Chains A and B, each alone.
Chain A
Amino acid sequence: SQTIHQWPATLVQPVGSPLSLECTVEGTSNPNLYWYRQAAGRGLQLLFYSVGIGQISSEVPQNLSASRPQDRQFILSSKKLLLSDSGFYLCAWTNWAWVGRSDEAFFGQGTRLTVV
């Protein structure tokens, strides 16, 4: 069965420090991978998505970046965190083989990031 791992669960980082959040998927191949951010009590903002190794689409210009070094690994990074980067970060995957065929998305349990 497919599983998605996201860590760490919580993170407190000082302003200006680097960030690296990792997400890995098991039990599927060539998934589409996503990073979302959710502010407290708000909806999900799509940050990045990837349809393959090294292919990253950025939705929101900011000081965050994403990389996909392996098929089932998706990393969210920052060189210098801002206070506004605080939030709940969620990784997700889908496996849409064909145009027009859409299946459900599977989410990790999220990382609560607090920048202090």
Chain B
Amino acid sequence: SQQGEEDPQALSIQEGENATMNCSYKTSINNLQWYRQNSGRGLVHLILIRSNEREKHSGRLRVTLDTSKKSSSLLITASRAADTASYFCATPLQGGSEKLVFGKGTKLTVNP
């Protein structure tokens, strides 16, 4: 079953604009992770935010987490054509489970 659900499913923007993607989840979490997938390739880890954190930055990435709303957002600032990819959120299920479940992803297209 899906734990995280990304929104929107697809996003098309111009280079230089900011891109915001959202993720909602259902159960309590220890942390939430964002991954990127280029077409036809494996996923690459971008950033992890723990349940006691509200915001985290990494380069042009900014992630927020609202545990009361069970939601997270990923902001990519000053987007580039090379940011074109699908972005997924993932949560390890709480309770010591080793299960890592992913949402359906947001397909981001950055037009030059």
Interface size for chain B: under 10, 10 to 19, 20 to 34, or 35 or more residues?
20 to 34
A13-21, A68-76, A108-116 - the one binding chain B:
A108-116
CB contact under 8 A between A34 and B102, given known A96-B92, A112-B40: no
Query: In whole angstroms, what is the CA distance A47 to B45 when docked?
Result: 20
Complex partner residue of B98 from A36, A49, A107, CB under 8 angstroms? A49
Residues of A near B96 (CB, < 8 A) are 99-100
User: Would you call A11 an interface residue if the criterion is a C-beta within 8 Å of the partner chain's C-beta atoms?
Assistant: no
Query: In whole angstroms, what is the CA distance A100 to B2 when docked?
Result: 20
We find that the number of chain A residues with CB closer than 8 angstroms to chain B is 30
User: Would you call A106 an interface residue if the criterion is a C-beta within 8 Å of the partner chain's C-beta atoms?
Assistant: yes
Residues of A near B105 (CB, < 8 A) are 42-43
Complex partner residue of A32 from B33, B48, B98, CB under 8 angstroms? B98
Query: In whole angstroms, what is the CA distance A94 to B102 when docked?
Result: 14
Minimum CB–CB distance for A24 against chain B, Å = 14
Residues of chain A touching chain B, judged by Cβ–Cβ distance below 8 Å, are 6, 32, 34, 36, 41-44, 46, 49, 51, 57, 59, 88, 90, 92, 94, 96, 99-100, 102-110, 112
